[in-house]
Structure 1
Amino acid sequence: MSSIKEILKKVKTISVVGISDKPNRPSGDVALYLKEKGYEVFGVHPTLREFEGIKIYPSLNDIPKQIDLIDIFVNEENLLPIVTDIIIAKPAYVWFQYGVKSESASKSILSAGIELVQDRCIMEEHSRLF
């Protein structure tokens, strides 16, 4: 498995699944931080279409570009239905933010040969390492 530093150096495109425009939700802040650090960021949300210049799509399948890393901000109930979409998207990495937990989803993602980072904040890790 790659180190977190290696992952953050390699990736160019990131999809934030569960991006929100609500001020009390960290997903929007994380997406903006990643964009400011030079990553190409796309959001996934069923109803939002844009947030602070970040294009948002209704599903991972709708993003017209190969995604290197999928950053997950949804709970297990909303994660399980998109595991197939994650596997079809074939990212090199999936990142479960703090509190995102699903043994079933984790097993499926790892079985598909996708590296998985769990229970860490990508923004905190990036700011700590760079």
Structure 2
Amino acid sequence: MRTPRQILAGAHTIAVVGASRDPQKPGHWVPKMLQEQGWHIVPVNPHATVLFGEHAYARLADVPEHIDVVQVFRPAEEAEGLVREAAAAGAGAIWLQEGIASPKARQLAGELALDYVDDTCMGAERALADMVHGGCEPECPVYHGIVPVPESSPEPADAR
């Protein structure tokens, strides 16, 4: 079984099940950051047609290209089914984001010879390793997350 860093270092294409249209959610900004760091992101969301400038697929089974890792932003109750779908799609690994864990999915992944990571943020793992696709020396701008939008505040009196 490969470590999370080995999985990420060996990946090129990451299918993101539960990719979000909401830029404030980790299901949006984590894959976007990975894309900005050089990984090919394939969004899987039945309610979107395009995310991150890429065609979004309704189901993992609809993705027509090879998938190295399936990144999951869905509830733990769906993890077992997603492990089966990842294996059927030919992925080498499944990665459940931070806060998502399933002992049954872990066991099934082992039975299906899939590398498995749960309850770990792929973006944090990338940042801790200072990794970009293809190596460990950043060659592109470092992503610093979302800049919070300040709440409306009255203009200062001298600005009027």
What TM-score, normalized to structure 1?
0.91
Indicate the larger mover: 52-61 or 12-21: 52-61
Indicate the larger mover: 31-40 or 73-82: 73-82
- Give secondary structure in 1 for the equivalent of 2:46: coil
Q: Report which of the two structures shows the higher radius of gyration computed on alpha carbons.
A: 2
Structure 1: which 5+ residue stretches go unaligned? none
- Give secondary structure in 2 for the equivalent of 1:90: coil
Provide the residue aligned with 1:120 in structure 2: 120
What TM-score, normalized to structure 2?
0.75
1:15-37 deviation per Cα after TM superposition (whole angstroms, max 9, x unaligned): 11101112331111011111111
Provide the residue aligned with 2:102 in structure 1: 102
What count of residue pairs does the alignment treat as equivalent?
130
RMSD across aligned positions (CA): 1.5
Between Structure 1 and Structure 2, the one with more helix by share is: 1
Shift of 1:105: 1.8
Provide the residue aligned with 1:75 in structure 2: 75
Structure 2: which 5+ residue stretches go unaligned? 131-160
2-side partners of 1:116 and 1:3: how far apart?
Answer: 9
CA contact (8 A) 2:16 2:72 kept: yes
Provide the residue aligned with 1:35 in structure 2: 35
Q: Identity across aligned pairs (percent)? A: 28
**Would the alpha carbon gap of residues 25 and 37 (structure 1) be closer, same or farther in structure 2, given more than 3 Å must change?**
same
CA contact (8 A) 2:80 2:108 kept: no
Shift of 1:84: 2.4
1:56-67 equivalence runs, <5 A: 56-67=56-67
- Give secondary structure in 1 for the equivalent of 2:56: strand
Mapped pair 1:86 → 2:86: yes
Indicate the larger mover: 20-29 or 58-67: 20-29
**Would the alpha carbon gap of residues 112 and 80 (structure 1) be closer, same or farther in structure 2, given more than 3 Å must change?**
closer
Shift of 1:86: 1.6
CA contact (8 A) 1:69 1:93 kept: yes
Shift of 1:49: 1.4
Provide the residue aligned with 1:53 in structure 2: 53
Shift of 1:38: 0.9
2-side partners of 1:52 and 1:12: how far apart?
Answer: 16
1-side partners of 2:126 and 2:83: how far apart?
Answer: 25
1:32-64 deviation per Cα after TM superposition (whole angstroms, max 9, x unaligned): 111111111101112111113022100111111
CA contact (8 A) 2:17 2:72 kept: yes
1-side partners of 2:81 and 2:46: how far apart?
Answer: 13
CA contact (8 A) 1:90 1:114 kept: no
